[in-house]
Each structure stands twice: as C-alpha cells, then as structure tokens.
Amino acid sequence: MKVAIQGELGSFSHEAARRMVPGCTLVPCARSIEVFDHLDSGRVPVVVIPIENTLAGTVTEHADLLLGREVFIQREFRLRIVHNLIAARGAKKADIRRALSHPVALDQCRDFFRQNPQIQATPFYDTAGSVKHVIADRILDTAGIAGKHAAAVYKGTILAAGIEDDKRNFTRFFLLRKKRKILPRANKTSIAFGLKNIPGALHKALRVFAERDISLSKIESRPIRGRPWEYVFYADFLRGDDKLARGALLQLGTVAEMVKVLGIYPAV
C-alpha cells in the first residue's frame, strides 16, 4: 500500500507510517498540502501526518487542513521523539554555527540553543531533509536536527544525542483516508465545531458532553481564515460511534453553526 508522508525518508513521519502500515511503500512530499493533494487525487489510499507534540503543541497547518479537506481519521499513533544534532562526517560540534530542522522540531530543542548560543536555529522544510541537505552539500559548519534513523539513511555523524527539552517528548500522528471507515473497537472521536460569538455559546456546546458524562480529552481553538476574531474549536472525546455519541453530536448541531466529525478511531 502506498502512504504519503510529509518529509524525506528517515523522518519521524517515515517511522510512524512504517509502524502504522507495515510493509507500506512511502511517498515523500516536501509540503504538507502535497500530502493532502495526493489523498484527494487518489494517488495514495492513505496518508500519515503529525498532528500534535507534547512540547510544541498542535501542528496548526495540519489542523487547518483537516478542517478544510474531506478526509477521515482512521487511526492515531504516538511516537517517542528523540532529536539529535547530525552533521557530515568530519564535522565537529565546536565548528557548528547553524542547526537546520523543521520549525516544530526546533521548538522542541529550546534548551539546547540556550546552552549553545553560538548555534543559530534555522527553519528547514523537514527534519530528515535537513540532514540530507547538509551531508549532500558537505556543509561542515551546519548540522541538521533529526532522529537517529536519518543519520543512518544519509550516513551522517551524531554530534549530540537526545537534545530535546524533555524526555517525555511524544508526537501524535494520524492515519487519514478520504472516505469514512471506522475500525473495530473505535472509542475516540475528533470533531471541529464553530459557535456564534454570543454569551454562553461555549457553555451550551460543552454541556452536551457533560450531561452524558462524556469525557473530553482535548479542546482548543483556532482562528478561522477570512473571518478575523472568529474561531473554530477542535475537540476529542472518548466515545466511538454509539448512540450516546450520536446524541451528543445531534444536540451540538442545534447550538453550533458548524459541526464536522474529523474521525472516529481506537484510542492509544
């Protein structure tokens, strides 16, 4: 099965996809929107995207794409993230002046940059891609920040291991399909909903879950593009496609301007 991912081979998305879809053929994409375009066009049946990190928070571009595209979350997966400073062979840590990586990865290594002020954090399109770049061009004063698998794939040298701020650093990934397909034992639902900007609107929305004793494991808001100072709420709740959940969503639809079920899947 073909699976589209954002990033190069050796990226964390690469590892997550291999774990979620064993034996798959990976289709690396440079940009997140290309991943969704591959799914829209039918070039791949599934894609894997990172959606949330325990240090850096939500991957906002992917949250926006989940809302804007017709896709369905089928599975979630949590991957332990270990960041390493990786350079071309022959490079020395004392000579490194720039560290390239995806902005989300850089955000997970703030303490490293505070302790090494001579190294400038420089955004790059991908974690593994940063390693591929510095090694292919043999840039000896620049390193990439990525997982150890990237060092193996591109034959780089790990100059510093485990440079993430906290060892409890996990990224949550979603496996997406274009059409709704619910796996057995699905017991978690992700939704997005919009509310009118009136007093008590959020209270009324959350009450539909409280009255049914449904646990919300996450809720956050994001700005709505083209509508300044208006927001959409993303929420996860711990029920599958059962009568109680359907009743809550039906009632939510009476108080919300918009409700979209993003996925129903087994919780991990």
pLDDT digits (tens, 9 = 90+) for 180-228: 999 999 999 999 999 988 899 999 999 999 999 999 999 999 998 888 8
| Percentage of residues of the chain with pLDDT beyond 70 | 100
Residue 46 pLDDT exceeds 90: yes
Q: How far is residue 44's CA from residue 65's CA, in Å, rounded to a whole number?
A: 17
From the list 127, 142, 171, 189, the catalytic residue is 171
Per residue in 69-123, pLDDT (tens digit) is 999 999 999 999 999 999 999 999 999 999 999 999 999 999 999 999 999 999 9
C-alpha distances in angstroms, 42 versus 16, 173, 213, 217, 247? 21, 21, 39, 32, 33
Q: Is the dihedral of CA 228, 58, 153, 83 positive or negative?
A: positive
Question: Mean pLDDT, the chain, as a whole number?
Answer: 96
Q: Is the dihedral of CA 222, 264, 55, 160 positive or negative?
A: negative
Vertex 3 angle, CA 88 and 51, to 5°: 75
Q: Is 122 a catalytic residue?
A: no
Q: What are phi and psi of 251, to 5 degrees?
A: -70, -40
Q: Which residue has the tokens 């496609």?
A: 241
Residue 1 pLDDT exceeds 90: yes
From the list 173, 174, 193, 233, the catalytic residue is 173
Per residue in 244-262, pLDDT (tens digit) is 999 999 999 999 999 999 9
Residue 229 pLDDT exceeds 90: no
Residue 3 pLDDT exceeds 90: yes
The pTM of the full predicted model, rounded to 2 decimals, is 0.92
Q: Which residues of 240-260 are buried (b: 16+ CB within 10 A; e: fewer)?
A: beeeebeebbebbeebbeebb
Q: Is 124 a catalytic residue?
A: no
